Amino acid sequence: MKFTLHIWRQPSNSDSGNFETREIDGITPEMSFLEMLDQVNMQLTGGGEPEVAFEHDCREGICGTCSLVINGVPHGPEWGATTCQTYMRSFEDGSEIWIEPYRAKAFPITKDLIVDRSAFDRIQQAGGFVSANTGSAPDANAIPIAKAVAEQAMDSAACIGCGACVAACSNASASLFVAAKVTHLATLPQGDPERRARVQKMIAQMDAEMFGSCSNHGECEAVCPKNISVSVIAQMNREYLRSVATSDT
Amino acid sequence: MILDSKTPDGPLAEKWDRYRADSKLIGPGNKRKFKVIVVGTGLAGSSAAATLSELGFQVDVFTFHDSPRRAHSVAAQGGINAAKNYQGDGDSTWRLFYDTIKGGDFRSREANVYRLAQVSTQIIDQCVAQGVPFAREYGGLLQNRSFGGALVSRTFYARGQTGQQLLLGAYSALNRQVGLGKVNLHTHAEMLDVIMHGGTACGIVTRDLRKGAMTSHFADAVVLCTGGYSNVFFLSTNAAGCNATAIWRAHKQGAAFANPCFTQIHPTCIPPAGDFQSKLTLMSESLRNDGRVWVPKQPGDKRAPGDIPEEDRDYYLERKYPAFGNLAPRDISSRSAKEVCDEGRGVGPGGLGVYLDFSDSIDRLGESTIRERYGNLFHMYERITAENPYQVPMRIYPAPHYTMGGLWVDYELMTTIPGLFALGEANFSDHGANRLGASALMQGLADGYFVLPATICNYLNSKPAINAEAAKESGRATEAQVKARLQKILAIKGSTPVERLHRDLGNIVWEACGMSRSGKDLPQAINDIRDLKQRFWETAAVTGHAGDLNMTLEKAGRVADLIELGELMCRDALTREESCGAHFRVEHQTADGEAVRNDQDFCHVAAWEHTGDDTEPNRLVEELEFESVNLAVRSYK
């Protein structure tokens, strides 16, 4: 297979960027999208040119490091998959492919296709935890949790923190990301003691990081590689209202 | 150099309690005077950093990722063992200990393994308290599944994402400390060397991967939680970024490297599809609970799997190991798969694959039950191969996965460098010559949550005073060496892509030091690796400069270290004249191909001491004494 690639190149956040066009040949349908980019980079470095900077690590869809916008869609055309789980068989031979970084005010571009997602960590640091010092825990079976409740918590805990939800949102909102953690911990009895303070702190940090408000478009759910339901945002809003309406936070 | 394991006296079951009772504590007011550097934020690193901070120590934690949550512990699928005996099926601390030490083919330290089994139950308690959503029964109690090498059901799991959920638990505990301002988190910071002063570790040199800046950081102790080195093989289940630079730099500064040839090949991975492949994807071993492994009886049988009748199939694990069947340990399962493929009975492209067939389980339990247990794994398989495993059997093949070898540590998890500790996969201590499934997560969290926080005080209480100015001077010298090495790499200006050199290394080590090793092939491999090292330093294509984000430079530095480590692996494999666990020397096997251990000469840990770049390393020995178990011939028949 061969493709015409339009790849975003930008030396740093303070420089301006542009699309650079490259032809690539000898691609097979079994290659992953990142393996195709590996081929591009081997050609570049072998010829003494600087490679295209992009982030990747586990290459099996769980670490959340890879982050491209492919033909306008975060993580590309495959439903419920990360960029690293996207294979070239999803693209028509001979087609053009546009490759860009996530674009959001809260995710400044570092270089080429790499953005800074540290805002996500700061939101988690604000309240995305249960305060339980090591060694203080009761026996794990002391609190039974209904299977359905545990499964529901797991559904939202599956978030990999990739940021596709932000990139897809017209408001660059981090609502799906924040709501996934709020819902995970609010669903479980272990998260209950801090649930009111947690949702307020996480939302305050989300706003401080300059993420936008929820657009209600639902594009976040459509691109989420872990299929996290937009209903967690409704849950987060309920948690928030309940939290501000009651005084014992 | 003397290897003193510092194993406490007393009966096995009492050693850990006695150790803790005897160790000197540090008062709350004094803990904050000590600073600890933790490198790596996987299960071991995040849990250690969080716990040390909760106890009151100053903690600086480093990851080369953009976030601590990306560490490769996140990818572990199947589960975590603990001797809870919630199923009432006969489990106990002793049985988990015995299974682990037997699984490791009697090449690990009894006292360490027993302690691991002891603290395993507290790990589950801790994780549940953090909100880790483990699988539950309808009555609300925790569910367990079986794993290879065990006859009890003791594995806790969160769908096929147990590693992710445990890591997010440890990450949340770490985040809490960062949010409280008690832990300094350094992201994009790659450790490139240990700073030594007066024979002790007093800091690290890091490079900011975004901006290229080099920084020295100082502390009272340095804790390496930087994972394993399976990426020596290039193709492995590890993430692209996994590397051995931290432990290899430590080794070159004086930390002995134990059992480097003990590397595990995981039996259930998706077979490679072509030469471009950048990694191999593991399918959780838990699949072997409900999948049956088979190949055609006749070599070259090209029929579709569904067209091959029962009488023409060889369920070789069930045939050879009737007691454990498809749940035979990883090393045995991997080697058996290689044998049938070597006989020409492999399936799929290149004949490198065996079937993992779920049709019996789907008939027995229904597709919905299988979907509930393994849905995400089946989905992942279909995404990669474009085949539906509910309808056709999966194809699997072994792939390098976990490294039991690592930095030598004593009972306190301290390396041979005073003040330098190693936790999790980065050390060698608990898995001997082979690790059982669902034990890596257990060890990483045991080391981080419970062992190091209890053992580090002994060192901090007795550590020599270091003059801060003198330490800074050492830091400047180390930093200068690190810079010089980067400049040397950039000065090569060759035309061979670093990835090409890495693939070549992988091929050499996979062929000579993979699933089977021989006294004939290993010396050749050592020579080939030396040639490759020369080729690296003469022809590697590394563009850009050091003062900027430069992925090629990062990769090149790591590959240069992996090349040297690959040579040590082969050297260790050559010296160990026995077959044990994952280390299978073709000269040492029975007539029917089972491993033959040599307890007379090799019932020991081999720890290698670096003596210089141009001199042979020293092989040190820690004799393993088994007071509580008999050195049995490992049998799963």
| SS3 state of residue B398 | strand
Query: C-alpha angle B563/B565/B570, rounded to 5°?
Result: 100
Percent of chain B with pLDDT strictly greater than 70: 100
pLDDT tens digit string along A167-187?
999 999 999 999 999 999 999
CA gap B279, B559 in Å, rounded: 15
Residue B372: the pLDDT is: 84
Please name which of B597, B619, B583 lies closest in space to residue B435, comparing C-alpha atoms: B583
**Shared domain check, A102 and A55:** yes
Q: CA–CA separation, B357 vs B253, rounded Å?
A: 49
Tell whether A72 and A153 lie within a shared domain.
Answer: no
ipTM above 0.85, yes or no: yes
**CB atoms < 10 A from the CB of B323, how many?**
10
pLDDT digits (tens, 9 = 90+) for A99-109: 999 999 999 99
B399-to-B73, B238, B271, B288, B522 alpha-carbon distances in Å = 17, 10, 8, 16, 20
Q: Are the C-beta atoms of residues B160 and B374 closer than 8 Å to each other?
A: yes
Task: Characterize A59-97 residue by residue with b for buried, 16 or more Cβ atoms within 10 angstroms of its Cβ, and e for exposed.
Answer: bbbbbbbbbbbbeebbbbebeebbbbbbbbeebeeeeeb
Mark which of A64, A86, A110 sits at the end of a domain: A110
* Whether residue A71 is found in the same domain as residue A156: no
Closest to B11 in 3D by CA, of B627, B430, B622, B454: B627
Q: Do A132 and B274 touch (CB under 8 A)?
A: no
Same domain membership, residue A156 and residue A44: no
Residue among A41, A140, A188 whose CB faces B124 most closely: A140
Partner-chain contact B136 A154, CB within 8 Å: no
Q: Are residues A141 and A227 in the same domain?
A: yes
Q: For residue A11, give the CATH number of its domain.
A: 3.10.20.30
What is the CATH number for A241?
Answer: 1.10.1060.10
DSSP string, B451-477: IHHHHHHHHHHHPPP--HHHHHHHHHH
Q: Are residues A121 and A201 in the same domain?
A: yes
Question: Cβ–Cβ of A145/B276 closer than 8 Å?
Answer: no
- What pLDDT does residue A249 have? 46
Higher-confidence position of A5 and B146: A5
Domain boundary among A76, A110, A144: A110
pLDDT surpassing 80 at residue B164: yes
**Which residues on neighbouring strands pair with residue A22, listed in sequence order?**
A5
Between β-strands B618-623 and B604-609, what pairing exists: parallel, antiparallel or unpaired?
Answer: antiparallel
Enumerate domains of chain B plus CATH numbers: 266-399 (3.90.700.10), 479-601 (1.20.58.100)
Judgement on whether residues A94 and A210 belong to the same structural domain of the protein: no
Q: Are B258 and B238 in contact (CB under 8 A)?
A: no
Query: Are B72 and A57 inside 8 Å of each other by CB?
Result: yes
For residue A49, give how far its alpha carbon lies from the nearest alpha carbon of chain B (Å).
Answer: 7
Alpha-carbon distance of B355 to B489, in angstroms, equals 44
Please provide the average confidence, as pLDDT, over all residues in chain A. 96
What confidence tier does B407 reach under pLDDT thresholds 50, 70, 90?
A: very high
Q: Are residues A121 and A241 in the same domain?
A: yes
For A79, name the nearest residue in chain B, comparing CA atoms only. Answer: B383
Q: What is the pLDDT of residues B45-85, one digit of tens each?
A: 999 999 999 999 999 999 999 999 999 999 998 899 999 99
**A129 and A239, same domain (yes or no):** yes
Asked if B450's CB is within 8 angstroms of A135's CB, the reply is yes
Segments forming the whole domain that contains residue A88: 3-110
Q: Are residues A84 and A54 in the same domain?
A: yes
Among A69, A95, A110, identify where a domain stops: A110
Of all residues in chain A, the one with the smallest CA distance to B179 is: A125
If asked whether residues A92 and A141 sit together in one domain, one would say no
CA-nearest of A207, A152, A19, A200 to A98 is A19
How big is the CA angle at B119 (ends B118 and B122), to the nearest 5 degrees? 125
**Quick one: pLDDT at residue B321?**
92
Same domain, A86 and A169: no
Work out how many domains chain A is built from and give that number. 2
Specify whether the CB–CB gap between B354 and B294 falls below 8 A: yes
